[in-house]
Each structure stands twice: as structure tokens, then as C-alpha cells.
């Protein structure tokens, strides 16, 4: 009995597609494993270095901080042009970037200001806080082979009366020599370090003004 030509054609196409699929699976194998990255804090200062010990028991309230929606994802975002970003296929943040950013900022400030009292809202009413730092990040990413960039509007508030003492608009950039993700994350960590130093300098200056030092 002769087979229907249409049936033969369907069987031929289906078999050809299955062969291609099998060849593709054999040729490519499993997908490369994902790699996970974290921002890093600055190195502790030497024991004999001068730090902001005049803070005493006073501390800093850190937040709220606002982050752009495009970086609130696990896959690392790179900027290809002013109007295009790209999501990495296998390179990911090990924890939400917002959490990692704030934790690194807290660690940096605790080193730079020599204070362990750096709290996020909501903090206890009896917390001994001198200032509150608030911020809105508009950009935090890297351009492969070019630079890592952090742009942020931030301010310092006196906690006891909620008075705004300082408002700043800052931009930080660190050049890149390669397109590797390890270098990009290191460079982004350095932008957070520079931001931390600017906050620490502002807080130290305001503390001295407030306390006549």
C-alpha cells in the first residue's frame, strides 16, 4: 500500500527537525554555570590611623535609599549606549543589589567614622543618632571597556529636629581596562567607596559645626 505523500512529507520534516535538535544538544552540551558577584567594602584602616573618634556614642541613620528599577534584578546589567542596557546571561548578583549596596556602605562608614552605630529605618526611638543620610540613586552600572558609574542625589538630615543640613548631587566613575565582570564589580565597589568617603567627610564637618569643634 502506498503511503499518502502528505504523511510522508510530515514524517520527513519531523525526523529532520528531531535530528537537528539532537545534534544541537550534543554539540552544545549543558549551559555554562552561573557566576555570582558581590560588591566589596574598603579595607579596615590601620590601627594607628586617625579616625573620627569624636563621634562617641552618636550614630548615623542610613536611609531610605531609592534605586532605579532597571538594576533591581539578579542578572548584572551593563550599559551598551545611553539608550541601551544589556542583561548578563550567566553573571548574577549573589543577593539583591540594593541590600548589597547598603551593607557595603554601612561597613565603609563604620570604618571611616569609627562608629558601630549605623542603623537602617525603622530604628528604635531611643537610638542615639546624630544624622540621617537619605539618597536616590539614578544610575549604578558599568560600560564594558569604559567605566563604572554611580550617580546619586543625597542629603544629610539632623535627626533631633528633622532639619535638612545638606543636599548634594554627586557622580562617580572608575575607568575599566577590560570587559570582564570581575573588574566591573570591583570598579562599582570603588564608586561606592568614593560615595562613602564623601558622606563621611560631610558628616564629620557637620558634627564639628554642631558641636563647636
**Residue 57 located in a structural domain:** yes
**Residue 8 located in a structural domain:** no
Range with lowest mean pLDDT among 23-32, 79-88, 131-140: 23-32
The count of domains in the chain is 1
Range of the domain at 113: 35-210
Residue listed under C-alpha cell 502506498: 2
pLDDT at position 12 is 46
Q: What sign does the dihedral 102-106-112-117 (CA atoms) show?
A: positive
What is the spatial distance between Cα 188 and Cα 87, in angstroms, rounded to a whole number? 16
What is the spatial distance between Cα 17 and Cα 24, in angstroms, rounded to a whole number? 11
Among 13-17, 25-29, 38-42, which range has the highest average pLDDT?
A: 38-42
**Residue 64 located in a structural domain:** yes
pLDDT digits (tens, 9 = 90+) for 124-153: 888 889 999 999 999 999 999 999 999 999
**Residue 28 located in a structural domain:** no
**pTM (2 d.p.):** 0.83
Instruction: Assign residue 121 the CATH number of its domain.
Output: 3.40.50.10610
For residue 68, pLDDT beyond 70 = yes
What is the spatial distance between Cα 78 and Cα 9, in angstroms, rounded to a whole number? 46
pLDDT at position 4 is 59
Report the chain's mean pLDDT, rounded to a whole number: 86
What is the spatial distance between Cα 79 and Cα 143, in angstroms, rounded to a whole number? 5
**Residue 180 located in a structural domain:** yes
**Residue 97 located in a structural domain:** yes
**Residue 10 located in a structural domain:** no
| Helices 97-113 + 181-210 axis angle, to 10 | 50
Banded model confidence at residue 9, pLDDT cuts 50, 70, 90? very low
**Residue 13 located in a structural domain:** no
Amino acid at each position: 500500500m502506498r503511503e499518502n505523500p502528505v504523511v510522508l512529507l510530515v514524517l520527513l520534516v519531523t525526523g529532520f527537525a528531531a535530528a537537528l535538535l539532537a545534534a544541537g544538544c550534543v554539540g552544545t552540551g549543558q549551559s555554562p554555570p552561573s557566576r555570582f558577584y558581590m560588591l566589596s567594602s574598603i579595607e579596615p584602616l590601620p590601627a594607628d590611623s586617625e579616625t573620627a573618634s569624636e563621634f562617641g556614642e552618636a550614630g548615623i541613620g542610613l536611609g531610605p535609599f531609592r534605586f532605579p528599577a532597571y538594576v533591581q534584578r539578579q542578572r548584572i546589567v551593563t550599559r551598551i549606549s545611553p539608550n541601551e542596557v544589556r542583561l548578563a546571561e550567566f553573571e548574577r548578583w549573589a543577593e539583591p543589589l540594593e541590600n548589597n549596596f547598603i551593607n557595603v556602605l554601612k561597613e565603609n562608614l563604620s570604618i571611616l567614622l569609627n562608629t558601630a552605630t549605623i542603623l537602617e529605618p525603622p530604628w528604635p526611638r531611643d537610638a542615639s543618632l546624630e544624622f540621617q543620610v537619605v539618597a536616590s540613586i539614578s544610575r549604578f552600572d558599568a560600560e564594558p571597556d569604559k567605566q563604572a558609574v554611580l550617580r546619586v542625589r543625597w542629603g544629610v538630615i539632623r535627626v533631633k529636629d528633622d532639619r535638612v543640613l545638606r543636599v548634594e548631587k554627586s557622580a562617580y566613575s572608575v575607568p575599566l581596562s577590560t570587559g570582564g565582570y570581575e573588574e566591573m564589580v570591583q570598579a562599582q565597589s570603588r564608586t561606592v567607596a568614593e560615595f562613602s568617603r564623601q558622606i563621611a567627610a560631610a558628616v564629620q564637618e557637620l558634627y564639628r559645626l554642631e558641636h563647636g569643634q
